[in-house]
């Protein structure tokens, strides 16, 4: 199949691009990205694509401004609009290679959002895929990491040249007189990817001349097998989940053990990565530590000082670390509100006749004999209809009772108590979500 037809097939099938779609093309000026641009232009009219180019100057080397100028000048000659982002990064930034990657993607995503483009295309090739798999394997990874890069991600990033080798791309550039610039840092063997590209891959090709294709096939196999594991993970999660409050997720420890060890480990990895907000997952050593917690062989493990996973009685808890408050929300008065931090709804009323029982304690009765706030005790801002909703703090008291003790009496499971919503007037809590306190002029049904 001719290269342009091959590219079009990948673009419309593996990447999911349809007629009339808009694509932001990422161009560094190197051969891969400039060939990507030419291939996009070759299918533009047939697919009625709307194209725009973005190029990034990290500010890390003297050649970069020239590279960006080259991309902009090329785009002018081809009649395609282009944008330049100048990052001005400090060359002494720790872990510079990774920091530059993060900043680069932040810039191009900003450009895509600003222009309203649907897709963001990069020029990654099959060689890049092979190098990614080797890099992750050397660092330590599992089946998820072995999947390498995908042709299309849920966030709109596409890689339509992912099954083309670098030699094929370079041959196309020669045959079609595609101009490009050479990044002088590509020869720097202190950069991990250059070391893999210049030293490791040539050695592998002595064993198998088609080593990059073999590693690409391995990545596809890993994706297929990982998809099966993900199905089992989803089933186990539904089976064992007690509460999902985003910043706190609680699982039944006994039900977790109904799953296979591999599935339990992947569930832990998935939950931890989601709470950390890192699509790339977690380190292999962290995955092993989490599995030990879920299997009951360890009490707790903390990830990047941000998420703690621990056993709490008959539960396994994934929760943000810290002393709180974990969220705050000011509201104008009675009404129904969404607490996005925990993914729950709350309805504030005055002198409500009834209040919803906590579904986590369906058999808990309202307690008697508590002294609530009278109307005269309510602060002026409450009477005027202004409240602060925040997570419970250790010293909070309402009706002369500690809030954590009230929650315990209502059989609210311990892991959720420090994330439970309370209503605050001034500096003092005046109501606890989901509880009806005698004499209180303000109540909050929760969750709704």
Per-residue pLDDT of the chain (448 residues; tens, 9 = 90+): 689 999 999 999 999 999 999 999 999 999 999 999 999 999 999 999 999 999 998 776 655 568 889 999 999 999 999 999 988 777 777 777 778 888 888 999 999 999 999 999 999 999 999 999 999 898 877 788 899 999 999 999 999 999 999 999 999 999 999 999 987 777 788 888 899 999 999 999 999 999 999 999 999 999 999 999 999 999 999 999 999 999 999 999 999 999 999 999 889 988 998 999 876 678 778 888 999 999 889 999 999 999 999 998 899 999 999 988 999 999 988 899 999 999 999 999 875 333 333 333 333 333 222 223 333 344 444 444 588 999 999 999 988 889 999 999 999 988 999 999 999 988 889 899 999 877 677 888 999 8
In contact, 403 and 420? CB cutoff 8 Å: yes
**Which pLDDT score, from 0 to 100, does residue 117 have?**
96
Find, among 62, 83, 61, the residue nearest to 72 by Cα: 83
Question: b/e string for 280-318 if b means 16 or more Cβ within 10 A?
Answer: ebbbeebbebbbbbbbeebeebebeeebbbbbeeebbbb
**Which pLDDT score, from 0 to 100, does residue 385 have?**
54
Helix (H) / strand (E) containing 381: helix 380-383
Q: Residue ranges of the domains in the chain?
A: 3-124+159-207, 229-320, 328-445
C-alpha 372/C-alpha 441 separation (Å) is: 9
Find, among 270, 268, 290, 291, the residue nearest to 280 by Cα: 270
70-79: long-range pairs with CB below 8 Å, 24+: 70/29, 70/179, 70/181, 71/27, 71/28, 71/29, 74/34, 74/37, 74/179, 75/27, 75/37, 78/37, 78/41
Q: Taking the model in full, what pTM does it have?
A: 0.70
Domain 229-320 in the same topology as domain 3-124+159-207? no
Q: Give the tokens for residue 372.
A: 């609530």
Angle between helical axes of 211-240 and 126-139 (0-180°, round to 10): 60
**Which pLDDT score, from 0 to 100, does residue 287 have?**
86
From the candidate CATH numbers 3.40.50.10490, 3.40.50.300, 3.40.50.620, 2.60.120.560, the one assigned to the domain spanning 3-124+159-207: 3.40.50.620
Domain 229-320 = CATH 3.30.365.10: no
**Measured distance between the N- and C-terminal CA atoms of the chain, rounded to whole angstroms:** 57
CB atoms within 10 A of CB 217: 11
């Amino acid at each position: 199949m001719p290269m342009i037809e091959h590219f079009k097939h990948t673009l419309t099938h593996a990447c999911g691009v349809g007629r009339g779609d808009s694509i932001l093309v990422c161009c560094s000026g190197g051969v891969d990205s400039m060939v990507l641009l030419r291939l996009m232009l070759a299918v533009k009219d047939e697919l009625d694509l709307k194209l725009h180019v973005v190029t990034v100057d990290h500010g890390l080397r003297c050649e970069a401004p020239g590279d960006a100028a080259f991309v902009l000048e090329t785009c002018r000659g081809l009649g395609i609009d282009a944008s330049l982002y100048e990052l001005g990064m400090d060359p002494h930034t720790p872990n510079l290679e990774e920091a530059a990657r993060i900043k680069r993607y932040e810039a191009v995503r900003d450009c895509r959002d600003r222009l309203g483009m649907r897709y963001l295309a990069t020029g990654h090739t099959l060689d890049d895929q092979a190098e990614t798999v080797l890099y992750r394997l050397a660092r330590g990874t599992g089946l998820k990491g072995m999947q390498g890069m995908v042709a299309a991600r849920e966030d709109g990033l596409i890689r339509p040249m992912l099954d083309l080798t670098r030699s094929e791309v370079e041959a196309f550039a020669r045959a079609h007189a595609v101009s490009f610039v050479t990044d002088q840092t590509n020869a720097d063997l202190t950069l991990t990817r250059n070391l893999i590209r210049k030293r490791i891959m040539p050695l592998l090709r002595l064993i198998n001349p088609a080593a990059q294709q073999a590693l690409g096939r391995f990545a596809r196999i890993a994706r297929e097998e990982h998809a099966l594991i993900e199905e089992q993970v989803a089933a186990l999660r539904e089976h064992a989940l007690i509460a999902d409050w985003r910043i706190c997720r609680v699982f039944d420890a006994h039900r977790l053990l109904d799953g296979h060890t591999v599935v339990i480990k992947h569930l832990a990895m998935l939950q931890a990565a989601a709470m950390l907000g890192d699509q790339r997952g977690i380190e292999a050593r962290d995955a092993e530590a989490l599995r030990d917690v879920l299997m009951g062989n360890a009490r707790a493990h903390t990830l990047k000082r941000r998420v703690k996973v621990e056993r709490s009685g008959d539960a396994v808890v994934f929760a943000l670390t810290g002393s709180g408050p974990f969220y705050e929300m000011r509201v104008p008065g009675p009404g129904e509100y969404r607490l996005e931090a925990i993914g729950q709804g709350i309805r504030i009323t005055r002198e409500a006749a009834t209040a919803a029982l906590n579904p986590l304690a369906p058999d808990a009765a309202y307690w008697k004999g508590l002294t609530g706030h009278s109307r005269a005790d309510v602060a002026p801002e409450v009477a005027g209809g202004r409240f602060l909703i925040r997570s419970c703090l250790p010293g909070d008291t309402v009706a002369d009772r500690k809030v954590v003790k009230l929650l315990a009496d209502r059989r609210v499971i311990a892991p959720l108590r420090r994330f439970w919503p309370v209503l605050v007037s001034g500096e003092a809590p005046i109501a606890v979500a989901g509880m009806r306190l005698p004499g209180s002029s303000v109540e909050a049904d929760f969750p709704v």
